[in-house]
Amino acid sequence: MTISQLRHQQAVGFRWLRFHPELESRYREVRDQSIRERARPVSASALVLFLVYALLDLAMMPDPLARQTVFIRLLITCPAISLVWWLSWQPLRPGTFLRLYGLAYLVGGLSVVAIIGMARLADFPLPYEGILLMLMFGYFAMGIPFRMVSGLSLILLVAYLVVEYATGMAPDELAINGFFIMTANIIGMVGSWLSEHRQRAHFLDRQMLEALRLQAEQESERKTSLITIASHDLRQPLNIISLILENLSDSNLPEHQAALITRLKTSVTHFNGLLASVLDISRLQEGMVKPEPEPLRPRDVLSQLAETCGERARDLGVKLEFSDNGPHVAVLADPQLLHRILQNLVFNALDHSGAGRIEVEANDENGQLVFVVRDDGCGIDQATREKIFDPFFRTRMANDPGLGLGLAIVRELSALMGGSCTLAPATGEGGACFRVSLPCCGVEHIATVETLLSGSKTGAHPELILVEDHNESRHWLHQILTGWGYRVDSFASAEQAIEHGKAGANAILITDLHLPAMAGDQLFRVLTDNQAILGGVMVTADTSRAEGYNPSSRLWTLHKPLKPMRLRAALQQLTRR
């Protein structure tokens, strides 16, 4: 049922212990299963009680009467109770077990009435409280639905009064007994109604919670789909613009046109950064980021960071220094997420600190691998420090172009990997110091980048295999790569690239992730298995795949729009001997 239907049911109530037909059917399925589970301990306890009563009959009643009552208890009531226990484990049609369960209650009650009648005929003073116990057992212990237990109890009450009348009880005494038993029956009916009403309310609440959970999951799936589609549809045209601008910047343009191209490139880079931050924080909030931690050498992490951040630092005239002070330990982290964390911190320092030097260190501190990003810039005042990790928090500096999401993303990603990111206390030397603490482990059995590269083939400068189904993107990227001096073979499909690839070709693959007939990662595996490539660069607009380098497969993942300096650094690392 829909949430609106459930809310309507809550609004109109169910004082008659009935739901909307569709909901009533579902409730009865749940109720029947619950009664089955309840019947097992109830029937076991009832069987023990009747056996005890049989022993008491033998001990307290005259022999002829005891033989009759024990016969009823052991050969009629106890088998009925045992049958209920057995049936509770058997697959039966819906509603069948409940009817048999009610019948067993009726049989047990009538057997008590019969025993009272035998005692009256034998002139044995047996009190009528037995029938009261049977009524309370049916109403409260057995959990039979209100309407059924009320009808069955009324039958037992009438049967008891008939037996007492037939065995000669005085009318006034019969009236008194009937009054007390009827009062007990009414109390049982009220309790049974309240119990079933409470059960139905709880069931309705559970159905509402389940409907809300499903609605939340559907909303999350729609948001996830929207984020993925928005990421691709917005990044693809940005990628083409970025490639065109990169080609134009290599042309011999007049000074004022070259300056315009530079401004356009800066604007595209800025817009891409804003888009990436918004999409990343959305993915984090929707739980789309799942870390896959593995042991990493700090020096490999720092080496990769230098490859992706070095050129930008040089363009800004900032000295970027790296230091590995924990050579005997490894950090346990997702390589792509860790790279994003450190890259965000370095870019944050480059863009906002006004620093001339940025230091990145890896230190082993008390069982934690701590990455320190320190700059000698303008520092951070106390008021800003208190909000620095809040989403969308920005300083009031006029030249601050961001959305205030970079450090929020850093904190979220650190927490996902069981670590933390903090801002060190201010010192008199100025600048800012961020510390990322993550679990560490031993360095045994870690394949370093150098080890993997040493096994690669040496020889001539490798050719590039470019696979991109978008014609314009393929054209402009081909132009850039050939301008860097590479020999490039371009293809529009994975099938063409596989047909071209030859074992021992000493090539590097550059491919889009989303290709028409075969995904880019599948193409990479096929060419790797065919020994046609030494490594690759996966280009995608899907930000659910984090950027970074996987040394075990020698595969870079880069987001669109492509940053030429990052692509060039990735190719240089893959082709380095």
Quick one: tokens of 154? 């009324």
Q: Is the pLDDT of residue 163 over 90?
A: yes
Helix ranges (DSSP H) in 167-297: 171-249, 255-285
Q: What are phi and psi of 171, to 5 degrees?
A: -55, -40
Return the pLDDT at 452. Answer: 37
Most confident of 180-189, 456-465, 514-523: 180-189
* pLDDT average, residue stretch 382-393: 80
Return the pLDDT at 202. Answer: 95
* pLDDT average, residue stretch 500-512: 79
Q: What are phi and psi of 557, to 5 degrees?
A: -120, 120
* d(C-alpha 520, C-alpha 513), whole Å: 4
Q: Is the pLDDT of residue 6 over 70?
A: yes
Return the pLDDT at 145. Answer: 94
Return the pLDDT at 547. Answer: 75
Could you write out the three-class secondary structure of 439-476?
EEECCCCCCCHHHHHHCCCCCCCCEEEEECCCHHHHHH
Q: Is the pLDDT of residue 297 over 50?
A: yes
* d(C-alpha 170, C-alpha 164), whole Å: 9
Return the pLDDT at 40. Answer: 95
Return the pLDDT at 401. Answer: 56
Q: Is the pLDDT of residue 474 over 60?
A: yes
Task: Label residue 548 by pLDDT band (50, 70, 90).
Answer: confident
In DSSP terms, which residues pair with 372 in a beta bridge?
A: 361, 435
Task: Label residue 180 by pLDDT band (50, 70, 90).
Answer: very high
Q: Is the pLDDT of residue 511 over 50?
A: yes
Return the pLDDT at 199. Answer: 94
Range from 194-208, 283-297, 356-370, 423-437 carrying the lowest mean pLDDT: 283-297
Q: What is the average pLDDT value for the chain, to the nearest integer? A: 84
Return the pLDDT at 114. Answer: 94
Return the pLDDT at 184. Answer: 92
* pLDDT average, residue stretch 12-17: 90
Range from 147-156, 357-366, 378-387 carrying the lowest mean pLDDT: 378-387
Return the pLDDT at 536. Answer: 92
Most confident of 193-197, 374-378, 460-464, 473-477: 193-197
* d(C-alpha 443, C-alpha 38), whole Å: 56
Q: Is the pLDDT of residue 455 over 50?
A: no
Q: What is the pLDDT of residues 68-117, one digit of tens each?
A: 999 999 999 999 999 999 999 999 998 999 999 999 999 999 999 999 99
Return the pLDDT at 230. Answer: 65
Instruction: Give every strand in the sheet of 507-512, ordered side by side.
Output: 488-491, 463-467, 507-512, 533-540, 555-559, 548-550
CB atoms within 10 A of CB 15: 8
Return the pLDDT at 456. Answer: 41
Q: What is the pLDDT of residues 410-449, one digit of tens each?
A: 888 888 888 999 998 877 677 889 999 999 887 664 544 4
Task: Give the global pTM.
Answer: 0.55
* pLDDT average, residue stretch 546-565: 82
Q: Higher pLDDT residue, 569 or 446?
A: 569
Q: What percent of the chain has pLDDT over 90?
A: 38
Range from 123-132, 265-274, 308-317, 455-464 carrying the lowest mean pLDDT: 455-464
Q: Is the pLDDT of residue 479 over 90?
A: no
